[in-house]
C-alpha cells in the first residue's frame, strides 16, 4: 500500500481508511449497523431503540411464512395451552416450530454478539414465544371473524 496507509473493511461493508499518524475514527453516519434473518433479505437496524422488538417480530413473521397456510394453528395452540412439552405434542406440530424459532433467534443473537451487543438468550427466547403465541391467537381470532362474516 502506498504511503503506509491501511484500509479497513467494516462489518457493514464500508471501506474506511486510517493513516498511521491519525487515530481510527469510524463514521457512523455512513451506514446503519444491521443484522439479517437466515436466507432472507429482512434487514434489522440494530442502532434503533426498537430493534429488539423488530427482530422478534421479523422472526415470527418468517416462521409463519415458512410454515405456510397448511399449518394447523388451532391444533397447535390447543396443545400449547394445555402446557404440554414439545416432545409430547409431536414432531408434526411443536418440534418444527420450536426449531425454526430457535434457529432464527440464534442466528440473530450470533450476529448481535459479533457486533458487541449481548442479549439474555433465555429472556429473548421467552419473549419470542410470547410474541409467537400472541400472534397465533390474533390470527385465529381474525380467521373466526372472517368465517363468521361470510356465513
- Of 41, 46, 69, nearest in space to 56 by CA: 46
Q: CA torsion sign, 60 to 108 to 67 to 99?
A: negative
Report H helices in the chain: 51-67, 73-81, 86-89, 94-114, 121-150
| pLDDT at residue 28, as a whole number | 56
Angle at 57 between CA 52 and CA 61, to 5 degrees: 150
Residue 142 confidence (pLDDT) above 80: yes
Residue 35: pLDDT band with limits 50, 70, 90: confident
pTM: 0.69
Amino acid at each position: 500500500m502506498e504511503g503506509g496507509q491501511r484500509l479497513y473493511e467494516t462489518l457493514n461493508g464500508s471501506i474506511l481508511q486510517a493513516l498511521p499518524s491519525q487515530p481510527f475514527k469510524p463514521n457512523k453516519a455512513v451506514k446503519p449497523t444491521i443484522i439479517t434473518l437466515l436466507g432472507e433479505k429482512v434487514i434489522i437496524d440494530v442502532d434503533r431503540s426498537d430493534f429488539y422488538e423488530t427482530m422478534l417480530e421479523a422472526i415470527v413473521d418468517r416462521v409463519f411464512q415458512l410454515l405456510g397456510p397448511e399449518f394447523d394453528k388451532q391444533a397447535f395452540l390447543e396443545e400449547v395451552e394445555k402446557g404440554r412439552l414439545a416432545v409430547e405434542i409431536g414432531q408434526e406440530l411443536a418440534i418444527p416450530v420450536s426449531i425454526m424459532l430457535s434457529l432464527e433467534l440464534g442466528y440473530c443473537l450470533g450476529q448481535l454478539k459479533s457486533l458487541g451487543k449481548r442479549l439474555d438468550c433465555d429472556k429473548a427466547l421467552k419473549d419470542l414465544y410470547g410474541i409467537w403465541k400472541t400472534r397465533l391467537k390474533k390470527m385465529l381470532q381474525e380467521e373466526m371473524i372472517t368465517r363468521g362474516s361470510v356465513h
